[in-house]
Structure 1
Amino acid sequence: MGPRSPRANGGQNHHGLDSWRHEDSVGSAHHSEFRQPSPNPGFGGDPNNNFYQLHSSKSAVELSAYESVAPVAIVTILFFLWGFASGLLSVSRTNPGYFVGPLTFSGYIFRHYGFRITFIVGLVIYGVGCIVFWPCGVLQTYPGFIISNFISGLGVATIEVAANLFVAICGPPEHWEARLNLSQGAQAIGNVFAPILADKVIFRRDERSSNTEWLISVQWGYLGVAFFDFALALFFWYVPLPECKDADLTRVNRWRPARSLDEKSQKRLVGKKALLLIGVWAQFCYTGAQEIITVNGPNLINIFSPDYANKTNTYLWSAEGLLAFGRLAGGVGMFYFPARWWYLVFASGCVVTSTLLVGLQYTTTNAEAIIALRMLLQFFESILFPTIFAISLRGLSGRNVKWGASWQVLGVCGGAVWPPIYQAIRNRYEPNNGVGSRVAWVLVVVLFSVGPGLQAFLVNFKPSWKHKLDGLSKRKLRERYESDGTIGGRLDGVNDHAA
């Protein structure tokens, strides 16, 4: 059903959080030039259908939990397919693209043209990068392969700038972290099945396969992903999604306590936005540690037991499965307990587990223990990226929210910075009785400690940062807003247990 008049139902407004806006020039313009109102309310033109209509003129931040299901589900499909393509082609090599995209053309397109156009542009660039791989494969040129992955990285970064923020803000504001973890969980599921399919079916390689035959199969894989990206871009061209202007984002933290909305704190993005900046640093450290673990995890297993070499892929797939499970479980749990609690538990788990891995490398030759800790570490990594992203944007409003999203995605370039440093440390000590991997692994502990570990500690124990993350109870919200007549009726979607 479309938006109803606030005078319906006896003159009271029953939109809960949707009714907190002031009817002024800031709050009156909600629809984007990329959204057109539908003459038929609801799906299938049923006026009694209370499900969200994709052609609604409502802003993404004004949707209730129920209304946000359809648009979030559509973008979650994008997450799954994106994760599947990434796992199929090992697109972790695209991290250098994150240096360029977020703060240049990707951020510009996002801020000026909205979510849907950004998705389309990102998918097209991603597809072009995959197509470029075909001639590079024919010529067997490594620089061409790097260029192909760099272009793909620009596309992925462009998608990620918009997709993460869309899922976070589309619906009740207290569930940013939960929604993003669930959607990212779908991406992790795609990332689990894609390598299995690639290894067993698409890129299957046996002793009789030549390098040329295997390369041809990889070329076809890239080409298939390219055409799939173009098809998905066409899909988003015809599926209108709720947009969100800067004016809408000024209300995104209205449910927070008053001092979180201090106008002076909104004037500067850099300098007063310590939560955002430490979040970018945490993202930079986390993605670096994650990439080190992904690339060097098999080596760690093989060092302690060469007999496990034939089972390495099975263990890595199991670890990816644990990551997907942790992300989904954490997302559900955040509906019941504050996201910052989950963040502290999982970030601490990463620090402790990686530290134990360092210790065990010097004290045991038990491969089973190393493998178990390696898989447990993958589980604790699960919620870090989406939780860091959402938490770090708390307290921002207006155009600063989109700028903050661009900076958060920029932090992913840590995946291209830290692995070479790890490799340099490893090579420096490798001649010394083969202890290079053991020494270099300390870098992983440091990254988890000074990145996600530091931010998780601050948001749980620094009062001013806790204040930005914790909402008000329904009772306090009524006391605050009923006096000025900006709220009436029920308060849908507000956490009764908020501090």
Structure 2
Amino acid sequence: MESAAALTSIQRLRVPPRMGPRSPRSNGFDSWRQDDGYGSPARSEFRQPSPNPGGDPNNNFVQLHSSKSAVELSAHESVAPVAIVTILFFLWGFASGLLSVVLNNRINSTIKSTDSALIGLHSAYYGGYFVGPVTFSGYIFRHYGFRITFIVGLVIYGVGCIVFWPCGVLQTYPGFIISNFISGLGVATIEVAANLFVAICGPPHYWEARLNLSQGAQAIGNVFAPILAEKVIFRKDEGTSNTEWLISVQWGYLGVAFFDFALALFFWYVPLPECTDAELTRVNRWRPASSALTEKRRKKFLGRHSLLLLGVWAQFCYTGAQEIISINGASLIQVFSPEYAHNANSFLWTAEGLLAFGRLAGGVGMFYVPARMLYLLFSAGCIATSCILLGLQHSPGSDNSVAIVALRMLLQFFESICFPTIFALSLRGLSGRNVKWGASWEVLGVCGGAVWPPVYEAIRNRSRPDDQAGIRMAWVLVIVLFVAGPGIQALFVNFIPSWRGRLDGLSKRELREGYEADGTIGGRLDETNDHVA
């Protein structure tokens, strides 16, 4: 009997302590915690998502130490994980510059040699944004977390690059369309998780600043890709045939594919912080005063997801205008500033450099100035610059040539902070589950890059063969997109008190501390109020 009692005592000592309950909104990758503490270095918190959520938290090879939630990291602690994910932003920018600026133009001149074919290649890439985010990409992200989504996106992008090889051998235009679409699908999958990860990883009042700084790396990749492709990687001399050039491109794409697979393997082993739905709700949910009148007005005008829906629309319009400018930048200079046409590529690379500088400067500025105010300033700059360009186009001549080139470059500087700021601002105030859904819908808005350039081309073609008249007529679409998208949202978040208070309560440290003290932000996270904010 004594030995049996001793054996029972030993077995009891080997039983692991009872795990705490899971959040009602965990979606399968909430952290399992010890009952006697939260967030302590001595107590493990397994937030690493795995293909079998709810299973043994120790089955993940790479999670060898305890980790904080992404939203609990300090500014210093968030530097390393944000820097790792910023690699993906650089890769995304490099891919966009490689596909949109160089390869699509060269492939088009080799295979079809028409503007419509070029826009088809471009739209195929951004068509991936229409399919992925609200289907499998969003599902993987919501159920398996950031790291697995990064891996899946990199693998898909690598497959798209490999598909380019047989297409280059056969020199088939439909094959290039398929390759571009698969590549865009992979990058869209990466973006679903990467944008949100950078935004939430660290102090919550710096969402917009962090995302602008990381997307500055994307803009830098967009600068270097066309320069390296034209001057070094895919250089085409006068004696180089199209077939020889395509062979060099095939090897370049194969190298990018292997780099993608290696990066996917790297993310499989690197430990990245995760966060639960309840933790996202705690730092991001904002509730106004509880009076019946205030709540009635909020539901009547704001609705539950009005800021998100307006953000998706603003993203849809802005991306369309951005891609119109990117595709037609060279033709604008060639038609209205012909004496500078031989240096058009240099001017466009300078414009991309200004965009990168604007994002980095804007990200630093958001540590000191509210993001909504800088957003208003830059969106107004986009509208004003576009309008002035339209006015100069109505009176073309040598006197306007320098101004058109300068304003064309300045326009991309004002575009710089729009995309990341729209993304971060539009997710403010949502509860955890809806933050992840909202991130998917925001990336869906990028499919405007596939929709609006064909519309621009159709408007322009109505005035053929007069190129100047066609461009002037089509340029009105750019102004309309800037006004209807970023312009309206920037006005709403700055001049409507309820919207402005909603953002400031979540982004200003002093207001946030006051709201947290009286329960306006967050509150108890139980089954009664862990709901859609």
Q: Same fold (TM over 0.5)?
A: yes
Q: Does 1:31 align with 2:46?
A: yes
CA distance, structure 2, for counterparts of residue 475 and residue 308 of structure 1: 52
Task: Quote the residue 1:69 is aligned against.
Answer: 79
Q: Specify which of 366, 369, 372 is matched with residue 334 of structure 1.
A: 366
What is the match of residue 375 of structure 2?
Answer: 343
One-letter code of the match for 1:290? Q
Distance in 2, Cα, partners of 1:483 & 1:460: 25
Equivalent pair of 1:54/1:241 in contact (CA under 8 Å): no
Specify which of 162, 165, 168 is matched with residue 137 of structure 1.
168
Contact 2:48 2:273 in 1 (8 A): no
Runs of 4+ deviating beyond 4 Å: 27-30, 35-38, 256-260, 262-267, 472-484
Q: Distance in 1 between matches of 2:64 and 2:329?
A: 43
**Kept after mapping to 1: 8 A contact 2:321/2:478:** yes
CA distance in 2, matches of 1:266, 1:245: 27
> Which of 87, 108, 112 is the matching residue for 2:139?
108
1:219 maps to 250
What residue in structure 1 maps to residue 460 of structure 2?
426
Aligned to 1:314: 346
Matched, 1:59 2:93: no
- Name the TM-score, length of structure 1 as normaliser: 0.84
Offset, 1:477: 5.7
Task: Note the C-alpha offset of 1:264.
Answer: 11
Of 385, 396, 404, the match for 1:370: 404
Cα offsets for 1:229-287 (capped at 9, x unmatched): 00100110010100112122111225x56559x999999xx952111001000000000
CA distance, structure 2, for counterparts of residue 370 and residue 288 of structure 1: 21
Tell whether 2:265 aligns with 1:234: yes
User: Match of 1:72, as an amino acid?
Assistant: V
Quote the residue 2:239 is aligned against.
Answer: 208
1:164-188 superposed Cα distances (whole Å, 9 cap, x missing partner): 0000000111100000000000111
What whole-Å deviation, never above 9, does each CA across 1:71-102 have from its counterpart, x for those lacking one? 11111122113222332233855101111000
Q: 1:264 to 1:31 in 2, by over 3 A?
A: farther
Q: Judge conservation of contact 1:178–1:335 (CA < 8 Å) in 2.
A: yes
* SS of aligned partner of 2:282: coil
- Does residue 442 (structure 1) correspond to residue 476 (structure 2)? The answer is yes
- Taking the aligned partners of 1:250 and 1:483, their CA distance within structure 2 comes to 16
Q: Decide which of 341, 354, 357 is 1:325's aligned counterpart.
A: 357
Deviation per residue, 1:425-464 (Å, 9 max, x gap): 0001224574101110000000000100010010000111
Corresponding letter in the other structure for 2:70: A
Find the partner of 2:312 among 264, 280, 284: 280
User: Are 1:56 and 1:242, in contact at CA under 8 Å, matched by a contact in 2?
Assistant: no
Mapped contact 2:316–2:445 kept (Cα < 8 A): yes
Say which is worse superposed, 441-450 or 300-309, in terms of deviation: 300-309
Question: Who is 2:97 aligned against?
Answer: 87
The residue number in structure 2 matching 1:182 is 213
Counterpart CA distance in 2 for 1:275 and 1:396 is 9
Structure 1: how far apart are the matches of 2:96 and 2:428? 29
Percent identity for Structure 1 against Structure 2: 76
Q: Secondary structure in 2 aligned to 1:194?
A: helix
Larger Rg belongs to: 2
Indicate the SS of the match to 1:209.
coil
Which whole-Å CA distance do the structure 2 matches of 1:482 and 1:433 have between them?
62
Aligned partner (choices 268, 278, 283) of residue 252 of structure 1: 283
**Structure 1 residue 404 corresponds to structure 2 residue 419:** no
Normalising to structure 2: TM-score of the pair? 0.78
Q: CA RMSD in A?
A: 3.0
SS in 1 for 2:430: coil
Counterpart contact for 1:161–1:405, Cα < 8 Å: yes
Q: Which runs of 5+ in 2 are unaligned?
A: 1-33, 51-56, 102-121, 523-533
Q: Structure 1 residues 147 and 346, CA, compared in 2 at 3 Å: closer, same or farther?
A: same
CA displacement 1:346-383 (0-9 Å, x = unmatched): 00000000011100001232211100000000000000
Q: Structure 1 residues 474 and 87, CA, compared in 2 at 3 Å: closer, same or farther? A: closer
1:54 and 1:242 in contact (8 A); partners too:
no
The alpha-carbon distance between structure 1 residues 385 and 480, as it changes in their structure 2 partners (threshold 3 A), is closer
- Contact in 1 for aligned 2:315/2:419 (Cα 8 Å): yes
Aligned length: 447
- CA drift at 1:32: 2.3
Instruction: Give the whole-Å Cα distance in 2 for the aligned partners of 1:248 and 1:266.
Output: 24
Cα offset, 1:476, TM superposition: 5.9
CA distance in 2 between counterparts of 1:194 and 1:432 reads 33
**Counterparts of 2:297 and 2:81 in 1: how far apart (Å)?**
31
Looking at structure 1, the residues matched to 141 and 478 of structure 2 have their Cα atoms a distance apart, in angstroms, of 33
Does residue 1:459 correspond to 2:493, yes or no? Answer: yes
Distance 1:188 1:109, change over 3 A: same
* Structure 1 residue aligned with 2:5: none
Indicate the SS of the match to 1:321. helix
Q: Report Cα offsets for 1:289-339 as digits up to 9, x if no partner.
A: 001000011001000233322211100000000000000000000000000
Q: Structure 1: where are the runs of 5+ without partners?
A: 1-22, 39-52, 488-499
**TM-aligned CA deviation for residue 124 of structure 1:** 0.1
The yes-or-no answer on 1:302 pairing with 2:334 is yes
Aligned AA (2:375): Y
Offset at residue 388 of structure 1 (A):
0.2
Determine the C-alpha separation between the residues in 2 that align with 1:253 and 1:265: 21
The separation in 1 between residues aligned to 2:155 and 2:90, in whole angstroms, is: 17
